[in-house]
Amino acid sequence: MLYIGVDLGTSSVKLLLMDEAGDIKSIVTREYPLYFPKPGWSEQNPEDWYTALVDGIKELTKDCDKSQIEGISFSGQMHGMVILDENDNVIRPAILWNDGRTQEECDYLNIEIGREKISSYTANMALTGFTAPKILWVKKHEPDNFAKIKKVMLPKDYIAYKLSGVHCTDVSDASGMLLFDVKNKRWSKEMLDICGLKEEQMAKVFESFQVVGNMNGQAAKDLGLSENVKVIAGGGDQAVASVGTGVVGEGKCNVSLGTSGVVFISTENFAVDDQNALHAFCHANGKYHFMGVMLSAAASNKWWMDEIIGTKEYAKEQKDITELGENNVYFLPYLMGERTPHNNPNARGTFIGMTMDTTRADMTQAVLEGVAFALRDSFEITKSLGVNIERIRINGGGAKSPLWCKIIANVLNVKVDKINSEEGPAFGAAILACVGCGKYNSVEEATTKLIKVIDTTEQDAAIVDKYNKKYDVFKQLYPSLKEMFDKMV
Q: In the chain, what is the greatest distance between 2 CA atoms, to the nearest angstrom?
A: 72
Given the DSSP bridges, would you call strands 453-457 and 415-419 parallel, antiparallel or unpaired?
Answer: antiparallel
How far apart CA 208 and CA 425 sit, in angstroms, is 13
- In SS3 terms, 51-69 reads as HHHHHHHHHHCCCCCHHHE
Please identify every residue annotated as catalytic: 237
Given the DSSP bridges, would you call strands 391-395 and 253-257 parallel, antiparallel or unpaired?
Answer: parallel
Q: What share of the chain is helix, strand, coil (3-state, %, to 5)?
A: 40, 25, 35
How far apart CA 443 and CA 429 sit, in angstroms, is 11
Of 440, 314, 420, the residue nearest 1 (C-alpha): 440
Residue 79 marked as a ligand binder: yes
Number of H helices, E strands in the chain: 17, 24
Query: How many degrees, rounded to 5, is the angle at CA 250 between CA 245 and CA 253?
Result: 40
Contact 282, 171 (CB under 8 A): yes
How far apart CA 221 and CA 384 sit, in angstroms, is 52
Tell me which DSSP letter residue 134 carries.
Answer: H
Q: How far is CA 464 from CA 262, 281, 318, 366, 412, in A?
A: 22, 31, 20, 16, 8
Given the DSSP bridges, would you call strands 211-214 and 230-232 parallel, antiparallel or unpaired?
Answer: antiparallel
Name the CA radius of gyration of the chain, rounded. 22
Contact 110, 120 (CB under 8 A): no
Strand partners for 337: 335
Residue 191 marked as a ligand binder: no
Q: Which residues of 40-76 are buried (b: 16+ CB within 10 A; e: fewer)?
A: eebbbbbebbbebbebbbeebbeeeeeeebbbbbbbb
How far apart CA 35 and CA 41 sit, in angstroms, is 8
Alpha-carbon dihedral 418, 374, 103, 142, rounded to 10 degrees: 0
Sequence-distant (≥ 6) Cβ neighbours of residue 453 within 8 angstroms: 393, 417, 418, 419, 420
Annotated binding site for substrate: 78-79
